Amino acid sequence: MRRSIATVCLSGTLEDKLEAAAQAGFDEVELFEPDLIASALCPEEVREHAAELGLTIGLYQPFRDFEAVPEAQLRDNLRRAEHKFAVMQRLGADRMLVCSSVSGDAVDEDGLAAAQLRTLAEDAADHGIRIAYEALAWGRHIRDYERAWRIVEAADHPALGICLDSFHILSRGTDPAGIRQVPGEKIFHVQLADAPHLVMDVLQWSRHYRCFPGQGGFDLPTFVQHVCATGYAGPLSLEVFNDVFRQADPRRMAVDAMRSLLLLEEASGITALPTAQPLRGYAFVELAVAAEAAAPVERLLVSMGFRHAGQHRSKPVQLWRHGDTRILVNHDDNGGKPGPRVAAIGVESAAPIRSAERAQRLLAPPLARDRGPGEAELSAIAAPDGTAVFFCRTDDSDAGAWLGDFLTAGPPGGGVSADVTGIDHVALSQPFDFFDEAALFYRSVLGLELQTADELATPDGLVRSRAARAADGDVRFALSVPLVGTDGFDLQHVALASDDVLATAQAMRARGVPLLKIPDNYYDDLRARTHLGPETLERMRDLRVLYDATDDGELFHVYTEMVGPGLCLELLERRGGYDGYGAANSPVRIAAQRAAGRAAARA
């Protein structure tokens, strides 16, 4: 099936949008009329530019408030359509989207609607144009696709069909299975959008909060399967109105859009991609820090029981180990940023080459790497925020494996607090307009599952947070972003797992690990709202351990003080089936981090 995107999904000028869509590999675009009207290009130039880019202009949209009106209004509407047909011919667009009327002039009479749409279709056919009639979820009379289809069926004209829009159908809770009753050749266009489940006026929901398939809460694979069952042979087209996407880099957004469509096609059984490989934990997390800023990082790692166990053969990269938990410290110049920052993450893939193939098919940008003679070939891609993701298969005994690139510098660490059992998750704040894109990236490229989104009140404002994890929980990413505005939130942490966080925190503190100071008020509140025993609570207060509980289990966790401007380590212990990240504690934790940051700035 052809792949299409509405120009309204992307920001910038019409040229920007077309170029971005073409570069991302789309076959055609829906031209959103305001984009044409605001463009200095005349329709012929738009057509030519699109053609040069290898794009078809398929659908022209929207044509509003046409049907079921009194005779005088109909004449006016047909005149208006004639003008638009002329524009479409100059553009080379062959389908016009007519949305069901929202006008007070429209009467509730399907027969009249059908007759007038037939007239419109006759006029359109004279220009070689076909009309795709769409039921808007907030149409005055016509709000669902079944009724739109009955009208189109009654009008019975070859140049009149329907347009199916997943948002308009699924947002109303309409059963999409009825799509299967429509002959595929009468479906002239299919528009796809996902959306989070929100309780708000559907118009507002539609205009501001749509997102690309796989970023929201709709079951779009089933929707697409229903469409395919009809024999529909037209394009799958993305039509997404989103406040954030509208102002993001259109080239990035177009790639994100294409990735979402490929993932949807895979889930719908239309397109086969290299299978996502199971991820079995972390090979390493790499911190980038300038050599002159590295001392606090090294001190922290030593005091936590890590040991400098290896040195890269050709790069200024140290391997630090705590048993099988590995942190790389990279002193390479990171564009002049002192750091420390999480620069790369190595995930354990059952088949790294297959993982890399999938990433490539899903348009993940590959990272070029300098490789010394005899060094392992590692596949690396860039996540949307620039973090490098490596697919590894760690095997000490395999000379070709990545660990072989490190010369042994000493025995692995551990022992001091041997109950650090690995890396639980990595928490990364995202640039403002990268959030949905990042979630989709981890979901599609790494094959992770998205968890529910949270909203946290921090001293810097509201923060959205969402996590993605492997099915068995061995790999987890916690993403966060300011809810509005672009500034002021830039925190990362690496969370280490422990079997007994109280014991580990105590041992670490004894060895000089600086633990983040949590206010006493927090523990007074815990005492009021939980049934934790006084001794446990007192120990938690002493060690600054935070607590969360759900029906599934409990979380005990503690943070180190920040090393550098935006990074710290976390130690956590999951009890029972606790599957979250302590989001309820984030306001307190972030306030404490900000306070510590200000105190450090004053010192």
Q: How far is the CB of 588 from a copy of itself (least distance, A)?
A: 5
Cα 430 to Cα 385: distance, rounded to the nearest angstrom: 6
CB closer to a copy of itself, 84 vs 308? 84
Minimal distance, residue 13 CB to a copy of itself, in Å:
6
From the CB of 14, what's the least distance to a copy of itself, in Å? Answer: 9
Give the single-character DSSP code of 386: S
Residue 227 backbone phi and psi in degrees, to 5: -60, -45
When the beta carbons of 111 and 485 are compared against a copy of itself, the nearer one is 485
- CB closer to a copy of itself, 282 vs 581: 581
For the bound state, the minimum distance from the C-beta of residue 437 to a copy of itself, rounded and expressed in Å, comes to 15
CB nearer to a copy of itself: pick between 519 and 565: 519
Rg (CA), the chain: 28
d(CA 311, CA 54): 49
Distance, in Å, from the CA atom of 503 to the CA atom of 96, rounded to the nearest integer, reads 68
CA gap 131, 149 in Å, rounded: 13
Our measurement of the distance from residue 230's CA atom to the centroid of its chain's CA atoms, rounded to an integer in Å, reads 30
Residues that bind a copy of itself (CB under 8 A): 11-13, 16, 33-34, 36-43, 79-80, 83-84, 87, 198-201, 203-204, 243-244, 246-247, 432-433, 457, 459-462, 482-488, 517, 519-522, 524-525, 527-529, 587-588, 591-592, 594-595
Nearer to a copy of itself, 7 or 379 (CB): 7
Residue in 384, 366, 381 with CA at minimum distance from that of residue 432? 384
The widest CA-to-CA distance across the chain, in whole angstroms, is 89
Cα distance from N-terminal residue to C-terminal residue, the chain: 62
Q: Which is nearer to a copy of itself, 71 or 487 (CB)?
A: 487
Coil, strand, or helix at residue 551?
A: coil
DSSP secondary structure, 311-332, as one string? EESSSSEEEEEETTEEEEEE-S
Count of CB atoms situated within 10 Å of the CB of 108: 10
The residue among 164 and 588 lying less far from a copy of itself, judged by its C-beta, is 588
Question: What's the min distance (Å) between Cβ of 520 and a copy of itself?
Answer: 6
Which residue, 40 or 368, has its beta carbon nearer to a copy of itself? Answer: 40
Q: Measured between alpha carbons, how far is residue 312 from residues 328, 371, 395 in Å?
A: 10, 11, 16
Rounded Cα distance, 294 and 292, in Å: 6
Closest by Cα among 52, 26, 115, 45 to 78 = 115
Question: Tokens representing 379?
Answer: 């596949």
CB of 488 to a copy of itself, least distance (A): 6
Compute the least distance from the CB of residue 290 to a copy of itself, in Å. Answer: 28
Spatial distance between the Cα atoms of 397 and 290, rounded to a whole number of angstroms: 32
> Residue 242 CB, nearest distance to a copy of itself (Å)?
10
Residue number with CB closer to a copy of itself (84 or 251) = 84
Compute the least distance from the CB of residue 85 to a copy of itself, in Å: 10
> CA-to-CA distance for 319 and 396, rounded, in angstroms?
14
Tally Cβ neighbours within 10 Å of residue 439: 25
Nearer to a copy of itself by Cβ, of 63 and 402: the residue is 63
Q: How far is the CB of 444 from a copy of itself (least distance, A)?
A: 25
